[in-house]
Amino acid sequence: MSEIKDLMTKLDQFIDDRNWGPYQTPKDLAISISIEAAELLEDFQWISSEEALQKNEDNIREEIADVLIYSLMLCSKLDLDVKEIIEEKMVQNALKYPVTEKV
């Protein structure tokens, strides 16, 4: 089992153990991703990246984890293969933003 699928299985079990499934709708998970991303942005607001990392590294790590957790939960809820959708998006991005020769 891949590491991502293993994480998703652990998350699904965590949710099932607490009977949170009915509250984990795609809409609410998408909202939660946005909220956690906004909380991550707060750590960087009005200061340089270096200063933010110096002052807020622990919280930055926690907020990134929250964004990733909710994203994986949404993929699980929608029965999406994380590796597949990322690889598909990378192909799209490569077509949209081709490598140009350096002058």
Encoding tokens for residue 5? 């699928």
What is the C-alpha to C-alpha distance for residues 83 and 81, in angstroms, rounded to an integer?
6
Q: Looking at this protein, which amino acid is placed at residue 7?
A: L
Q: What is the pLDDT of residues 3-49, one digit of tens each?
A: 999 999 999 999 999 999 999 999 999 999 999 999 999 999 999 99
Which residue has tokens 């707060």? 42
Strands (E), the chain: none
Q: Model's pTM, two decimal places? A: 0.89
C-alpha distances in angstroms, 103 versus 6, 99, 100?
45, 12, 9
Q: Looking at this protein, which amino acid is placed at residue 31?
A: I
